[in-house]
Structure 1
Amino acid sequence: MGDLGGRLLQDTQNSDAIVTDAPGERYRLGFVDVACLIINRMIGTGIFNSPRTVIVGTRSAGGAMILWFFGTMYALAGTHVYIEYGLNVPRYVIEGVEQAVPRSGGDLHYLSFVYSWPYYQKGTVLYSAVLYGISFICVANMAGNCINFGTRVLVAANPGADINHTIVCAIATAAAFFSCLVHAVSRRGGIVLNNFLAIVKVCILLIIPGVTFAVLAGAIRDENGGIVRDVFGKNMAPSVAFQPPRNFDLGAGAPSEDLETGTVNSYAAAFLSIVFAFGGFEQSNHVLGEIRAPRRTFPRAATFAVGLVGILYMFCNICYMAVVPAYEQSTGVVALIFFQKTFGQFPGDTRPNRIFNSFLALSSFGNIIVTTYTAARMKQEIAKQGFIPFPKFFAQDADVSIGRLVLYLRRKGWKVPFFSSPEEHREATPVGALVLHLGACLVLIWSTIGIPADDAYGLLSSLSAYLITAFFGIFLALGILILRVVGPQATEAAKTQEPMRRSWRQMTRGSVYSWLSISTAVLYLIGNAFPVIASWIPRNASFGLTTVKWLVVPTICWTILGIASAWWVGFLIAGRIRSRRQHKTLVHEVWPEFDWAEPVSTRRGGDDDLRQERRRRDGGKVLVHETVLFTWEVEEMDDLQAYSDMQERDTPYDVPLTSVPGPMEPDAAAMPPGRRRQPPPEDDLAGTTFDNFAPPRWAS
């Protein structure tokens, strides 16, 4: 770009550019931080509420356990899909070499990379990005967990009392405000709180196997003083494990009605609840640009976290089967019945109910904290695409940290503890994205005021699981297969020194195995397609939500997809109208800055230097700074820029300044050094016989 265009562009940048910086090396997310992000998001209310949905849907204990096993395989397959995308997408040309640079944004960048058409302009306002971005803004928030948090707080405080949904919504609103405030004023404080809650959740799930071992040892007695018996053999005996409830050894007081066998839709709803319980393994991809040495830390932490949660979930379901008879699992919340049987349920004793609801409230609050942190970064990346109003406000970072207040107090002579030093908390945060996140959350919270709190939670959770996890998961898995079979788009020859087209196998060599990539993509595709398709099959009215019809969830999700499609079409129409009437064109340019992901150690030595250099090269680059320009400019500016570039290339700089007409005479002082036109040299032959002699062209 010529100097004139550069100066004009610089003037535009001053008012319209979006400037973001990655956290410093010291404040990047480490292994524990990344693992806790995933653990805190995955371990929520699903492991406590989903077992009843699963056993009601499958109508058998054996079918429920098999479905939970498939859910674990589904989560591991999805984790591998996200690792493959995270380590290889998006791709940049740095110093003439195309390479992958892990960055925040997750699914948004992955879908844009695979499905790069249709678009408004090449690489700008892609249909896939708009479809995902609008859907994510609408349903990917903390509304469901906020409502569940409010419900569980009320029940834990006063078991047996009627739940006022207005009070629930008020508590949910307060929880949403608190979470956004924490992440706005202290990024590091939010991460520390997230890590603490993740560790507490793991400890809570470890209580369930511990209590079960006590039951197996005969150390726990029921309210009558008898030993709590192990019923795992009755639930999982080969003769009854895959039979409907009527074939179980029901015992005294068991319901005698014959429940129908699970239908296709009930199986789909059961698996969708498992998808929700395992949801969250993609959280680290949303903030991949903030991870320290992402190529080394990200895959290890993600695999460890998902594997740990999968093992804990399987153990918890085995414990439920060992303590709670199968017929009772279909009559109430399985985890609550488990605590009632193990901790005792005496007349008037509300301790098991309080303990259970306290666990649920804590799990929901942990999900609120982690979702706010990751979803705000996602919505910041969505705003950078420029297809929503006020993109700069929603995408720009701002420093409203508590570190500014602490710094002010320190200057006034106040003493602050070391952990409150301004350096630990003064980081820019995506305040605009947090405002967008909070606004969408509050709309969903108060839009469910007319239905019971439990149904509101189930509805909002199902919307997120169906649309964000399952629906777009289909296209992510399909994208891996497309890249393996068809291959990625060719890189422009002018941008890279490497061959124009490389296969996906060549691009991913060293990061994933081809056979594992294809296998996990197929498994993830099937796991997501099943609930998306089967949810349209009618099911028994007694199954699922009591006040919400079965078709509400898929209908709302497809309506949101229709709105997102209409949004993209509307953007195209508005752009064409603006181009025709105002003669303006869209300018969307990105200037990324990169640095090595692996810092250089201060130690020196021959072997150490070689090892560090190899480790640095394998670690690749990370994005440390990005400037995004999204504005509308007059189309004639493109012609002026092209003419200016042509003149700078073709006009010889030894032409006297006087040869240029006055009105077009450039300011020599404004031109860059080395490119300024110099005045003609003095003629050494002036006043001689050879005065006014013109040499031939070949002599010049």
Structure 2
Amino acid sequence: MAEDEIPGLETGAESPVDEAEEEAELAVVPGAPVERHNPLGHNVTLLSAINLNFGQILGHGIFSTGGPVLASVGSIGLYFTTWSLAPLLAYVGLALHSELSSYFPLRSGGSVVYLEQEFPRPRLFVPIVYAITSTLLAYHAVASIVFAQYWLTIFGLPITPNSQTVVAITVTTITSAIAILSTKWSLRIVNVFSVFKVLSLAFVVITGLAVLLGLTHIKDPYKHFSHPWSGSNWDPNALATTMIKTNSAVAGWHNAFSMLGEVRSHDPVRVVSRAGYISLTVVVVLYLLTNVAYVAVVPPEEIKASGQLIGALFFKHVFGDGAAAKILPIMVTASCFGNMIAVVVGSARVQREIARQGLLPWPAFWAASRPFGTPIVPIIFKWLLSILVILLLPARDAFSFLLDLASYPFLVFGMAVTVGIWPLRARRKKLGFEKSKYQMLDGLIALYVVWHIFLLIMPLIPPKGGKGDVSFFYATYCIVGIGVLLLAAAFYYVYIVYLPKRGGYEIVEEIEDLPDGARNARLVRRYKSATSEGQGLAGEESPLLSSD
């Protein structure tokens, strides 16, 4: 919907947020310039924000991680403990994002915006490290792998490395193409599939209740709950790796925050915050009841050996090998399909916001929205990267490795976002701004920091027997994740510190207005005058990370 069609806005209005809020935002730390006329439009409502979150949360997680989780923790008691802790901590993260978004109600991008404002020193360091890391890890291959496995299961085809790869690449291409062609239709598809996914989980829950009530052929459905702590594995590495997986399964409650600047409301923060609480609460209830259904039907040893196919195993036990057993695989493929579109739509906005901050080469190229009014370059980049990792990784290890790798470096950023809220509050207080109505308790912030520290440190401790959940070195994903962070830091040092010092220039930011209404910051070189050294800067400038 165009801006002149937004309820409550007059034609030509500059933003759905009032001028006082804009001034408050602009008075903090310079970053990507606010776009008075958002070229991506204002298509996000409360319903679509909820469905954007559903679209990312309700992907493959609840249908694919049950087997690896129980295999790691060993007991039903620890299984339910890990599945309960992750959603509880997600509520803390949601409160954190609500407060931070209230400081920058005009900005899409989520964490990249918060980090930019929380850590202005060293200048550009944190934003550039985040930009490079998120760009290098911007794949969405995990959902496509799960889609491929369940798709092959529907048609009774063997799950081989080649067949899995072909199907995964195909669905990645289709979902990326949809996101490129139309944001409005992408959101509509996400809405439809989100409703379908909720109904699918409700069907699993109802089936599980029927089992518990003795209405099916399953005998003694309570026997698997009789010794809940038997076989518990308290190994710190196993617990931390498991918590990373369950944390990833509920990730997505913040997806709508990445599209804050496209919300159709005069109070976009309230919309995305409410959407987060609604979607997360529904998911928590559905996940708990779904896991009860799984355990009631499938023996624990079979769950441990199920890999990513616990959902298919559940329906096979209840309905046998007939046509009814195909119902859940169809549900899972639909969930993954909608999830992939939701992830592409949300994360492409993050990449675009990173480019608008001037933190990627050729920002005008990355931020362009023509010809379809969508962030086409970030979407194509994510598509290429996803295909690359699908082709390079061994098929049997791809799921666990990619899932953990995609999470680990962002735990570092998650902790940084959490810790950074304290200096940001202090700076705003010094500038005379009032407290946010979303301000959260310091104790909850401290708890969230401890949570991140646990998830970062424990996976590095050697597991019992020295073997993790992949066929190679157990901490490979940690090492690769840390390596990506170090590579991003090296990029910062070379291009922002070392080369300017050697070349006699400094890096400054310029505002660039594009024909489609987009506004970017770009980094340019400003050379020192050879004749007036020490007396200021000469007017000569040249682009550093731009297309001009």
TM-score range, shorter chain: 0.7 to 0.9
Q: CA deviation at 1:216?
A: 2.9
In the alignment, what sits opposite 1:291?
Answer: 263
Q: 1:442-474 deviations in whole A, cap 9, x for unaligned?
A: 2222221xx12x421221111112222x22211
The correspondence of residues 358-437 of structure 1 with structure 2, limited to 5 A, is 358-399=330-371, 401=372, 428-437=373-382
Larger Rg: 1
CA contact (8 A) 2:56 2:252 kept: yes
Aligned to 2:139: 141
1:46 is aligned, of 61, 69, 76, to 61
Determine which structure has greater relative contact order: mean sequence separation of CA pairs < 8 Å that are 6+ residues apart, divided by chain length. Answer: 2
Note if contact 2:400-2:470 (Cα within 8 Å) is conserved in structure 1: no
- Cα deviation for residue 60 of structure 1 reads 1.7
CA contact (8 A) 2:57 2:251 kept: yes
Code of the residue aligned with 1:480 in structure 2: it is I
Say which of 219, 224, 243 aligns to 1:229. 219
Instruction: State how far apart, in whole Å, the 1-side matches of 2:465 and 2:343 are.
Output: 32
1:44 counterpart SS class:
coil
Asked whether the equivalents of residues 496 and 507 of structure 2 are also in contact (C-alpha less than 8 Å), the reply is no
Q: Distance in 1 between matches of 2:229 and 2:465?
A: 23
Pair 187,542 (structure 1): closer, same or farther in 2 beyond 3 Å? same
When residues 81 and 330 of structure 1 are mapped into structure 2, their CA distance, relative to the original with a 3 A threshold, is same
Partner in structure 2 of residue 216 of structure 1: 212
Change (3 A) 1:577 1:440: farther
CA shift, 1:210, in A, is 0.8
Provide closer, same or farther for how the CA distance between residues 466 and 590 of structure 1 changes in structure 2, counting only shifts above 3 A.
Answer: same
Q: Which residue number in structure 2 is paired with residue 131 of structure 1?
A: 129
Counterparts of 2:428 and 2:518 in 1: how far apart (Å)?
A: 26
List per-residue Cα deviations over 1:523-544 (Å, max 9, x = no partner).
Answer: 3223322221110012245965
| 1:111 to partner: Cα distance | 1.1
- Corresponding residue number in structure 2 for 1:315: 289
Q: 2:478 maps to which residue? A: 554
- For residues 631 and 177 of structure 1, what CA distance do their matches in structure 2 show? 35
User: Using the alignment, how far apart are the partners of 1:272 and 1:30 within structure 2?
Assistant: 31
Aligned pair partner of 1:182 in 172, 178, 185: 178
Matched, 1:589 2:482: no
Q: CA deviation at 1:198?
A: 0.8
Counterpart position of 1:476: 417
**What is the rounded CA distance, in whole Å, between the counterparts of 1:133 and 1:631 in structure 2?**
17
**Which residue number corresponds to residue 311 of structure 2?**
335
Classify 1:592/1:108 alpha carbon distance in 2 versus 1 (closer, same or farther; 3 Å). farther
Q: Is the 8 A contact 2:67 2:303 kept in 1?
A: yes
Q: CA deviation at 1:363?
A: 2.2
Counterpart residue number, 1:271? 243
CA positional deviation for 1:635:
4.9
Distance 1:112 1:519 in 2: 24
**TM-score, normalized by length of structure 2?**
0.83
How far apart in 2 are the matches of 1:203 and 1:431? 32
How much does 1:62 deviate?
1.6
Q: TM-score, normalised by structure 1?
A: 0.66
Q: Does 1:463 align with 2:405?
A: yes
CA distance in 2, matches of 1:242, 1:282: 33
Distance in 2 between the 1:31 and 1:366 partners?
18
Q: Deviations over 1:26-76 (max 9, x none)?
A: x42001100000011001211122222222222221222122111120111
* 2:518 paired with 1:522: no
2:180 and 2:506 map into 1 onto residues whose CA distance is: 35
CA distance in 1, matches of 2:526, 2:120: 24
Cα offset, 1:140, TM superposition: 3.0
Q: 1: CA distance between counterparts of 2:485 and 2:527?
A: 33
Contact 1:135–1:564 (8 Å) recurs in 2:
yes
Letter in 1 for 2:391: W
The Cα of 1:18 is off from its aligned counterpart by: 12
Q: Shift in Å at residue 388 of structure 1?
A: 2.4
Task: Please state if 1:104 is matched with 2:49.
Answer: no
Give the secondary structure class of the aligned counterpart of 1:488: helix
Which string of whole-angstrom CA distances, capped at 9 and with x for unpartnered residues, describes residues 107-166 of structure 1?
A: 1111121111112xxxxxx1111111111111132122223323332232224x2x3423
> What are the ranges of 5 or more consecutive residues in structure 2 without an aligned counterpart?
1-32, 537-548
- Provide the C-alpha distance between the structure 1 equivalents of 2:427 and 2:56, rounded to a whole number of angstroms: 32
Inter-CA distance 627–139: structure 2 relative to 1 (3 Å threshold): closer
Is residue 435 of structure 2 the alignment partner of residue 507 of structure 1? yes
Q: Is the 8 A contact 2:244 2:455 kept in 1?
A: yes
Shift of 1:629: 4.6
Q: Which runs of 5+ in 1 are unaligned?
A: 1-16, 90-100, 120-125, 222-227, 245-259, 402-427, 491-499, 594-623, 644-700
The residue number in structure 2 matching 1:201 is 197
Note the C-alpha offset of 1:573.
Answer: 4.4
Aligned partners of 1:357, 1:542: CA distance in 2, in Å? 34
RMSD: 3.0
Residue in 2 that maps onto 1:32: 47
How many percent identity over aligned positions?
Answer: 22
User: After the TM superposition, which parts of structure 1 deviate over 6 Å for at least 4 consecutive aligned residues?
Assistant: 17-20
Structure 1 partner of 2:500: 576
Matched AA of 1:529: I
1:117 alignment partner in structure 2: 121
